Structure 1
Amino acid sequence: MSALFAEIRRRKVFQTFVPYLGFVWLILQIISVITPMFNLSPLFNTLVAVILFAGMPIMLYLSWYFDFTLDGLLPIPDAESEEVSPFGLSRWAVLTLITLGSGFLAYRYFSTVQIEFAKANDGIQQTFIANSIAVLPFKDASADQDQAFIAQGLAEEITSLLGRTNGLKVAASSSTSILADKGLDPVSIARRLQVDTVLTGSVRVTGDQLKIRVELINAFDAKVLWSESFARKFSDIFAVESEIARSTVNMLQDTYIETGSLTNNAATKSTDAYVIYLKGREEYLKQTTESLKEARKLFEQAIGLDPEYAQAYVALADTVALLADGSRNFGILKPEIAKQLASQHLAKALVRAPEYAEAYAVQGRVFDLGNEQDSALSAFNKAIELNPSLAIAHMWKYLLLRDIGRESEAFSTLKVALSLDPESRTLQFNLGTELSRRGDLHEAKNHFNNLVTEYPSSPLGYAGLADIDFQVGKLAMSMMNWHKASQLSPDNTTYKFRFIGILIMLKFDQAVEQLTDDPFYRPQLLINKNKLSELFEYMSFQIAANPDDPWIKFEAGWYQLLLGDKSQGISNMQDIYQTLGPNELYAMPYCSPAIELAWALQQLNKINESQLLLKECEIKLNQAIKSNIVEKNHTFLTARIAALTNKNEEAIKLLEELYQTGWREWWTEYDPLFSALADDQRFIKIAQDIRAALNEQRELAKPKLVELSLPTKSD
């Protein structure tokens, strides 16, 4: 230490640094006089002080190597050699690092002071730092209690605005609404949603006057952190929403958002259009086919009142996409029509509001409808970038990732969505489905039973139970649960399709014909009635009428392979081989039609082509297994691959396992891929057991159909 101090004295570090401190003191004294004289901002003093103090480490470093004189900087020679070493690259590098470090610390300190100064000027006294919040539906303070949709809409808009703030987790409006409807107090809701704070309040509209009161509550001790009242014209509601969101962020975060910087650029200037839009949102949130049809009408009316209303265009596109036919939708529109309509609405929205997160989330959903998976994923990521708390974007991204086989990423994304929207019925349904797909049927069933208990008017719990009952072979129970789901949402084609599908499996042909005249079911009814000649004539007509549709030719070929002329079936399979892309050819979980094509090519002695198809199916199957997905269809695919590769013992054991766990497909015994097993007594017994199980379920279903006033006879 004595040597160090001696070197410091030799290099005159203190003699150089002390005058610099005096210089700093003198400048600060001058600035303190000048600032009020010229009415400068108090921050000017701070800025100068920060710059001067940031220069101290630089001054200290330079004073080690240079003597500061009136003639300039004089290099200090080394003690031993008494020669001057050049100020080389390494010294410049250290000087640069010191300068950057000092500058960074100075910038961080000055930014903090700026924020505190801005908050003080804004009357904000920050007493609590939080990184999560839930916005409860505002209370309807109107005399007639007829403004709930405005109160709900206000909370939704503020939630959306807050969600754009990085570092602030915002619970989804759907969850807060559900818990509020259950009568829970704000603190209980906060704890249920695992957030630090709650924003609540009341709203009343009288004529063109708007009165809003808000409170920001600490979830840990129920203390009010901030409260404010707003009395404005109703036309100023968007400005009020922005002000509430801005003040909330400034209260909770080490940041400062200026007035007018947190706004909804997709909003309308028409209060009438806004009211209609909010009524549409009220219907949309009910999530049934019927309510979505009503929401669509209301959003169209809102756009009629304001053709520039970007938010309404997005809501309309979202609704139209959800009304597309499909197992995840509420199906009354053909997917291609829904996609076209939704795309048109989104194009209008994005021109008017190019940074609106919800628009990109819906755009991703629309891309997904058209199987444009890369574009869909990009759109979902853009939505999440703009609003990290947008739960619906995470949910739709999860579904897409699951579809393209990225199971691990999908499940992680679902967990994020659930953390933001834990009470969402749709997300809860998806979680139950994931549990089922991972083989935990007991937990999945408990989950769906809870959904039924918590939300008896929602079809989702019944749909989940119906699917599990089907998996374990309880077809009669599955039939009734599908019927219950269909009753709760009569326009949902998926529920009706699954209900009718079980009626066909159990050969309740007259009941099917009473319920529908859709030609889609005709081939299956003809099979039930053993009218095979009529079946093949009908399919030949369909092929002639739709020559460019490979799936009709595949269906016709499949029926031939099961029950007719196998050579004709093989010919049909060969015809479609080159017409399908990879996504269509290897559709999981059956890897169909690739697996059937592999068998057909085997019969034609095209062994190499057959093996290529089989290898790709094995790759797809292994990917699914590694993702912890447990589906009977995967086991069935494994059995078919085993049969095609002459592993008959393995195929038999897998089929026995499938039957024991609920496999009840009547066509198993006719499957040409198991033709090598046809004379095996164990395979014959499996076929007999499946027929017996179907008859048993048929008898169990009869009294239930009588309750539904449906015929129980087959033709």
Structure 2
Amino acid sequence: MSSSIENEYFCDGLTEEIINALAKIKELSVISRASSFYFKNKKTTTKEIIEKLGVATFIGGSVRLSKKKMRITVHMIDTVNDFLFWSETFDRDLEDIFKVQDEISLFIAEKLREYIGHIEIEDKLVEPLNLSINTYREYLKGRYYLMKFDYESTLKSIKIFEEIINEKPNFPNPYLDINQGYAYLGTMGLLPADEAFQIAQPYLKRALELDLSSPRSQLNLSWIECWQNWDLQKAYEHANNALEIQSTDEVYLTISSYLTVEGKLGPAQNYINKALELDPFSAINHHYKGYIYYLQQDYKKAIQFLQKSLTFNSVLPFPPIYIGQSLLLSGKFNEALEYFDGLKGVSLKDLTKLGGKTMSYAFLGDVSKCHIGIRELETYLNTELMGKALTFLVLTNVLLGNYEEAIDYVELAYKNKLPIILLFNTEPILKPIKNHKRFKKIMIQAISDNSNYTPIKRYRHSLLHTEDISKYVKEMEQVMMENKLYLNPNLSLKDLASYIELPTNYVSQLLNQGVNKNFSEYVNTFRLNEFKERVIFDENKNVTIMSIAYDSGFNSKTVFNTFFKKKEGITPNTYLKIKRRN
């Protein structure tokens, strides 16, 4: 709610940190940053957001900064019954930002547990960073540009991260971000792969020295093992490690890409679907789902998802390649040529327009124009665009029937350790050479067929022994009744846990396994019984129903009415009329 763009980076960072903190809780599926932020500055209602994201619980709020102070409001809405569970305001000092992030994350997690059932919560969800507010803001600005996924923005982000490293050399995150930036530029052929990976390597090495166990460190290691070292087994292992620490769409997308490399397109679809579940408005996730459909030769669906990805990020460089190739493989040669020729705003670091038109001429049988395109593509073989040029040269030569020349280019890519090799394995245009002896030999050398990937099982062992559950359930009920704890409208799960002297995680699981209720339902059952007893007392004949409900421990009219009707099947008014008639 602050006007300054610098404050916007700050507020976005706070929100993203809370999202990441909640995502660490294994029992929760938390919508990722891109989809949550999609609705920023858009005229839309809470109901519309809930429907588009398909969520069961909605967390909203605002941040207002004023000099060295900040006011953060947070509220939670039950999307099934459409009512406000709670609302809370935090007035804090700006310098305490990391402490506040953890405080709010834990507060939300505790409230979620009270209303949706057992989840295990660590004592701390956000680790503080040894940074000043100004440095933190600069870091968030760098992340903003890094996530744009284009050449110029990536370089801009790297410059910001380098300045932060000069100031804070023991802060691991900017090292990881620089590694990610150069890895992206090398993988996408926007810089020579070898050069980009060599520049990135010392940054990653330093990040791992500072923090090997973070999910981002493991994910960066995973990418390197796949796209640089071509070791899928190790790539899967590191991705699994990242997933064990924190369930994010980025990890599911990563695993989907590895399965795609191996040609396991069914499982790859399952993983990209999970990524889209967590981040349904992510441009890169929609692109990759479209790409998998392209590999499955379902070109109509491929184009649908690829075009949708561009509605979320119009400068994403990959979708236009596969939109055009889908048109070509659908037999729409002239439409594809027109599409490639009409690409607007294509970066100078992108050969999609040239390569796409060259392939289109091959499909159309215009050999003369096709060869002109091939010769122009060949001029880039000794430049930083070698990877992109080789891709289109391989594809075009296969289309022309020049299989030996195409495989020569594949060998050149292999010798230069270019990541594009891994994409050739499943490319539909390369079908004519898939069984060629030379091609198969290269693919076997590049892609190991013994990765034996097994997804991790994300579960927790029971904290309580079965024989203890019934004992503690009776003790908990006795404590509730003797102390009438439920009459406290602000009673929390932590409060109840302190009375029976058990850790909060244990009591949460006790409610889940012992009485099959979440905390809110458990306590409101006592309140409901209290209300039913009080409402028929003669002395309460002239007292309003809601006054009796509040005296029974309820603190919300909506919660009371909704819970009463759910349990009794009728409204409180109808219930009272029936009781008074009897």
1:385 aligned partner, one-letter code: E
Contact 1:273 1:301 in 2 (8 A): no
1:193 aligns with 2:53: yes
Provide the rounded CA distance (Å) in 2 between the counterparts of 1:412 and 1:166.
19
Contact 1:459 1:488 in 2 (8 A): no
Aligned residue for 2:64? 204
Pair 367,501 (structure 1): closer, same or farther in 2 beyond 3 Å: farther
What stretches of structure 1 of length at least 5 have no aligned partner?
A: 1-140, 523-550, 600-611, 622-715
Provide the rounded CA distance (Å) in 1 between the counterparts of 2:73 and 2:23.
21
Alignment of 1:171-320 (within 5 A): 171-253=31-113, 254-255=118-119, 257=121, 261-264=124-127, 267-320=129-182
Pair 374,251 (structure 1): closer, same or farther in 2 beyond 3 Å: same
Contact 1:180 1:189 in 2 (8 A): no
Superposed CA deviations along residues 42-65 of structure 1, whole A, max 9, x for unmatched, are: xxxxxxxxxxxxxxxxxxxxxxxx
Pair 386,173 (structure 1): closer, same or farther in 2 beyond 3 Å: same
1:244 aligned partner, one-letter code: I
Pair 518,407 (structure 1): closer, same or farther in 2 beyond 3 Å: same
Provide the rounded CA distance (Å) in 1 between the counterparts of 2:79 and 2:174.
34
Aligned residue for 1:375? 234
Compute the displacement of 1:562 (Å): 7.8
1:314 aligned partner, one-letter code: L
Pick the aligned partner of 2:204 from 346, 353, 356. Answer: 346
Provide the rounded CA distance (Å) in 2 between the counterparts of 1:271 and 1:153.
12
1:362 aligns with 2:223: no
Pair 193,279 (structure 1): closer, same or farther in 2 beyond 3 Å: same
Three-state SS of the structure 2 residue aligned to 1:192 is helix
Aligned residue for 1:607? none
Three-state SS of the structure 2 residue aligned to 1:423 is coil
Pick the aligned partner of 2:8 from 143, 148, 173. Answer: 148
Provide the rounded CA distance (Å) in 1 between the counterparts of 2:197 and 2:382.
26
Provide the rounded CA distance (Å) in 2 between the counterparts of 1:237 and 1:413.
34
Contact 1:211 1:232 in 2 (8 A): yes
Three-state SS of the structure 1 residue aligned to 2:381 is helix
Provide the rounded CA distance (Å) in 1 between the counterparts of 2:310 and 2:37.
18
Compute the displacement of 1:163 (Å): 0.9
Bigger mean CA offset, 174-183 vs 376-385: 174-183
1:273 aligned partner, one-letter code: T
Percent identity over the alignment is 21
Aligned residue for 1:386? 245
Aligned residue for 1:86? none
Provide the rounded CA distance (Å) in 2 between the counterparts of 1:175 and 1:451.
12
Pair 482,375 (structure 1): closer, same or farther in 2 beyond 3 Å: farther
2:138 aligned partner, one-letter code: I
Relative contact order (C-alpha < 8 Å, sep 6+): which is higher?
2
Compute the displacement of 1:280 (Å): 1.3
Contact 2:282 2:309 in 1 (8 A): no
Three-state SS of the structure 2 residue aligned to 1:520 is coil
**If the length of structure 1 is used for normalisation, what is the TM-score?**
0.51
Cα RMSD between the aligned structures? 4.3
2:246 aligned partner, one-letter code: N
1:406 aligns with 2:264: yes
Provide the rounded CA distance (Å) in 2 between the counterparts of 1:257 and 1:598.
54
Contact 1:211 1:230 in 2 (8 A): yes
Pair 236,592 (structure 1): closer, same or farther in 2 beyond 3 Å: farther
Provide the rounded CA distance (Å) in 2 between the counterparts of 1:438 and 1:503.
21
Provide the rounded CA distance (Å) in 1 between the counterparts of 2:287 and 2:133.
36
Compute the displacement of 1:426 (Å): 1.1
Pair 150,323 (structure 1): closer, same or farther in 2 beyond 3 Å: same
Aligned residue for 1:518? 379
Contact 2:179 2:203 in 1 (8 A): yes
Contact 1:290 1:489 in 2 (8 A): no
Aligned residue for 1:502? 359
Aligned residue for 1:337? 195
Compute the displacement of 1:392 (Å): 0.6
Provide the rounded CA distance (Å) in 1 between the counterparts of 2:280 and 2:47.
16
Compute the displacement of 1:588 (Å): 4.9
Contact 1:303 1:309 in 2 (8 A): yes
Superposed CA deviations along residues 144-174 of structure 1, whole A, max 9, x for unmatched, are: 4652222222111111111111101111111
Superposed CA deviations along residues 313-336 of structure 1, whole A, max 9, x for unmatched, are: 2222222211114xxx3x322222
1:157 aligns with 2:17: yes
Alignment of 1:90-109 (within 5 A): none
Contact 1:503 1:512 in 2 (8 A): no
1:443 aligns with 2:288: no
Compute the displacement of 1:498 (Å): 2.6
What stretches of structure 2 of length at least 5 have no aligned partner?
A: 384-389, 450-582
Provide the rounded CA distance (Å) in 1 between the counterparts of 2:90 and 2:241.
34
Provide the rounded CA distance (Å) in 2 between the counterparts of 1:464 and 1:285.
21
2:165 aligned partner, one-letter code: I
Provide the rounded CA distance (Å) in 2 between the counterparts of 1:324 and 1:563.
28
Compute the displacement of 1:295 (Å): 1.7
**If the length of structure 2 is used for normalisation, what is the TM-score?**
0.62
1:264 aligned partner, one-letter code: E
**Which has the greater radius of gyration?**
1
Q: Which runs of 4+ in 1 moved over 6 A?
A: 513-517, 561-564, 591-594
1:282 aligned partner, one-letter code: Y
Contact 2:249 2:279 in 1 (8 A): yes
Pick the aligned partner of 1:493 from 340, 345, 350. Answer: 350
Superposed CA deviations along residues 178-215 of structure 1, whole A, max 9, x for unmatched, are: 23454333332223222222222222333333332222
Compute the displacement of 1:440 (Å): 2.5
2:135 aligned partner, one-letter code: A
Alignment of 1:35-74 (within 5 A): none
Compute the displacement of 1:257 (Å): 4.1
Contact 2:284 2:309 in 1 (8 A): no
